[in-house]
Amino acid sequence: MDAGCPRLPDTVLFEIFLYLDHADVLSVGLVCQQWRAVARDEFLWKELFYRYYRVSRDVPRHPGAVSWYDEFQRLYDTIPCVEVQALKEHNDQVLHLSFSHSGCLFASCSKDCTVKIWSNELDISLQHSSNMRPYNWSYTQFSQFNSDDSLLLVSGVFVGPHNSSSGEIAVISMENFTLLSRVRNKPYDVFGCWLNETNLISGNLHRIGRITSCSVLWLNNAFQGIESENVNVVKRLFKIQNLNASTIRTVMVADCSRYDSPDLLLDYEEQLAASSTCPVFDLGSDSEEEGAKPKLPPEPAVQELPDAGGVPAEHGLQQLFDGIMEGHMRPAMTETELETKVAELFVRNRTKPPEPNLLPTDSNSKTKYLIFTTGCLTYSPHQIGIKRILPHQMTTAGPVLGEERRSDEFFDSLDHVIDIHGHIIGMGLSPDHRYLYVNSRAWPRDCVISDPMQPPPIAEEIDLHVFDLKTMKEVKRALRAHRAYTPNEECFFIFLDVSRDFVASGAEDRHGYIWDRHYNICLAKLQHDNVVNSVAFSPVEQELLLTASDDTTIKVWRSPRAMRIRQARRPRPRKLLFSWLLNQKS
């Protein structure tokens, strides 16, 4: 036994170690032979794990863990919480970060109106910078590499005539950093995304009334400038009606092909048994406004119309007008309520029905989901819309205005809607696309929205929800730790990212946060000097994390284990020289 390590009863020794820091526990384990003797005791480490991390005892061990000792060490040693580099090449707020799929490159967008491309080597270095001001951009806000990393989608805010702001998407070649094409994108917070290697999705918005509009989602070929004039380079994907000042924003695409073989199952029972098929159900409310949205199944919800049971929409619309003219509508409708009611009735029989059987039944299915934020009660995004994209829709070939649409079908319906009951400020997919993570700021319980232009106040606490896209159910309890302070009208997107085992998010409290996906516990807070807007894990090395902030810096974080490995790989010339001199003297 080591002379400096007195013999203590195991129970006393265990109680001491319960309240030591991670580093103390592991360092003592390297020195004290007595501790090494109990270090492999599963019961002791299980107790230590549950008490130290305050994890509920009904949560099983991570399915990939060999022992509780290894699991405790994993959560200490593999979290990217050590700052190793601060990149200061941007001269304004850094808004977004995105890695290439190979992990060799990443891109950053900023209020300085540049998109910068970085090389992720032993020490990160700037490889290229593109200034978008010559194209009348105000700033860059989002980027995404296509699946083979040959193209980069860059989204920004475009300043149009009379200083009106809209959005625009640029496609940049990674071979020579040339600009290949530009596509208008309205509103700008649609952001845009890749559907496949050569086609991207953008948005447009058409006003119908004061609070009623129509969102059109377009499929665009990335090589618009060099395609033949006989080949379509753009095609309409979907046209969706918006009520109560809401719009479609933040589009992303989920690939259903890996749902039966995810990297990590979050349902504890499903970890132990084969996955079971669950029926689709709507997590949203049963309010009248939501019931009249195009997301409905073929049978519409009941409308609050006098004696309108079972009548067609056209008759219901006429009946509504007759009731207003004859003074039968009580209480009197405001102009906003009347516009919403007319829009609901108008669209009821002019919407293409939702696709049947939303849930993928074939693990090799080529089906993809288009996921976006939307709403039905107010302009702040409080719902997640899901629309299935079928294989024949994934190309710009064919009729520009879409296939299989009757002349009286003006709009597409949503296949599924998830109501968050709060302002959505961030979304991210797990690497296998099985789970959707959503940052939101909750509304007060039982709040009533009477004016769509005045949404309820939002909480300072940010809730991080998790939804299983295979079952369309919320799994886990909402994660909490991070905070935001801006009101509804100033609320902005805070980008999050998900790796195999961790999920990270920015916040307005000057920190980035890391949680463990399996245990639902916060593992680290990463310090900045201002709001943290975006985080990004390396897709090939989850022990590397980037954070971007309003303080104009990008910080690089690595795990303690990765730091030891990097330091071991670095040459040590002084020790080599000292060894050589000793050999010469001898």
Is 239 in contact with 206 (CB distance < 8 Å)?
no
Q: Could you tell me the CA-to-CA distances from 534 to 153, 197, 318, 469, 494 in Å, in that order? A: 17, 24, 50, 23, 6
β-sheet bridge partners, residue 450: none
Q: Is 525 helix (H, G, I), strand (E, B) or coil?
A: strand
Residue 266 sits at φ, ψ, to 5 deg, of -90, -15
- The pLDDT of 28-54, averaged and rounded, is 69
pLDDT score for 239: 94
pLDDT score for 73: 85
Q: What is the pLDDT of residues 159-201, one digit of tens each?
A: 877 666 789 999 999 999 999 999 999 999 999 999 999 999 9
Structure tokens at 116: 């910068």
pLDDT at residue 373 above 70?
yes
Share of the chain above pLDDT 70, in %: 71
Annotated domain spans of the chain: 10-78, 82-261+365-400+408-568
pLDDT at residue 227 above 60?
no
Residue 552 sits at φ, ψ, to 5 deg, of 75, 5
**Cα 408 → chain centroid:** 35
pLDDT at residue 569 above 90?
no
pLDDT at residue 363 above 60?
no
Q: What is the pLDDT of residues 19-31, one digit of tens each?
A: 444 445 555 444 4
| Cα–Cα distance measured from residue 241 to residue 411, given in angstroms and rounded to the nearest whole number | 7
pLDDT score for 290: 36
pLDDT band of residue 410 (cuts 50, 70, 90) is confident
| Cα–Cα distance measured from residue 369 to residue 256, given in angstroms and rounded to the nearest whole number | 7
pLDDT score for 303: 32
pLDDT at residue 312 above 80?
no
pLDDT at residue 206 above 80?
yes
pLDDT score for 5: 44
| Cα–Cα distance measured from residue 20 to residue 154, given in angstroms and rounded to the nearest whole number | 47
Q: What is the pLDDT of residues 413-428, one digit of tens each?
A: 999 999 999 999 999 9
pLDDT at residue 467 above 70?
yes
Q: For the domain covering 82-261+365-400+408-568, report its CATH number.
A: 2.130.10.10
Q: Which residue has better confidence, 209 or 397?
A: 209
Is 9 in contact with 42 (CB distance < 8 Å)?
no
Q: What is the pLDDT of residues 509-566, one digit of tens each?
A: 999 999 999 999 999 999 999 999 999 999 999 999 999 999 999 999 999 999 998 8
Q: Could you tell me the CA-to-CA distances from 35 to 1, 7, 43 in Å, in that order? A: 10, 10, 14
- The pLDDT of 71-75, averaged and rounded, is 88
Structure tokens at 1: 């036994």
Share of the chain above pLDDT 90, in %: 53
Q: What is the pLDDT of residues 100-151, one digit of tens each?
A: 999 999 999 999 999 999 999 878 999 999 999 999 999 999 999 999 999 9
- Between 174-188, 307-321, 355-369, the lowest mean confidence (pLDDT) is in 307-321
Structure tokens at 566: 């990097």
Which range scores top for mean pLDDT: 6-20, 49-63, 373-387, 484-498? 373-387
β-sheet bridge partners, residue 154: 143, 170
- The pLDDT of 23-43, averaged and rounded, is 56
pLDDT at residue 342 above 60?
yes
Q: Could you tell me the CA-to-CA distances from 279 to 282, 296, 358, 471, 473 in Å, in that order? A: 10, 16, 10, 7, 9
| Cα-based torsion angle of the residue sequence 299, 300, 305, 309 in order, rounded to the nearest 10 degrees | 0
pLDDT band of residue 288 (cuts 50, 70, 90) is very low
Its pTM stands at 0.82
pLDDT band of residue 367 (cuts 50, 70, 90) is confident
pLDDT band of residue 43 (cuts 50, 70, 90) is confident
| Cα–Cα distance measured from residue 560 to residue 35, given in angstroms and rounded to the nearest whole number | 22
Q: Which residue has better confidence, 488 or 459?
A: 459
Is 438 in contact with 431 (CB distance < 8 Å)?
no
The number of residues in the chain equals: 586
Q: What is the DSSP letter of 69?
A: H
Q: Is 580 exposed, middle or buried (0-12, 13-18, 19+ CB in 10 A)?
A: exposed
Going by C-alpha positions, the residue among 381, 358, 382, 372 that lies closest to residue 202 is: 372
- The pLDDT of 370-380, averaged and rounded, is 95
Class of domain 10-78: mainly alpha
